[in-house]
Amino acid sequence: MNDDILRAPFTDDEVRILDVWQKNDYLHPYTCCDSEPMKATTDGLKCDKCGRLQEWVHDFSLRESAAEYNPSKNRNLGDAIYTTDDFKNKEENNE
Ligand SMILES: [Zn+2]
């Protein structure tokens, strides 16, 4: 499992990919208060409720192929670990 940490500032392209990750129902988003998905910015992930700024992400979260994962399109998740249980079940059924 590749679990390298990447730190802000992020490029506009990285923010775009991270935003895709945060909104992908098949993946587990980075969350803060009340499991609210955090907002992707160049400074890091921001919580709109408490203002907390998380300045790091797992490297796979900035990988477009992982962020756009969709089992019906056979996207390759790579070695991402932030997945929902629902997604894990889908993956097992596909194999
Ligand atoms: Zn918060």
86 vs 27: CA distance, rounded Å: 9
* Burial of 8 (C-beta count, 10 Å sphere; 0-12/13-18/19+): middle
Distance 39 CA to ligand 1 centre (A): 11
- Residue ranges near ligand 1 (ion) with Cβ within 5 Å: 32-33, 47, 49-50, 52
pLDDT at 43 over 60: yes
pLDDT at 1 over 50: no
Distance 15 CA to ligand 1 centre (A): 19
pLDDT for 71 equals: 77
pLDDT for 10 equals: 98
89 vs 62: CA distance, rounded Å: 23
pLDDT grade for 70, boundaries at 50, 70 and 90: confident
Distance 52 CA to ligand 1 centre (A): 5
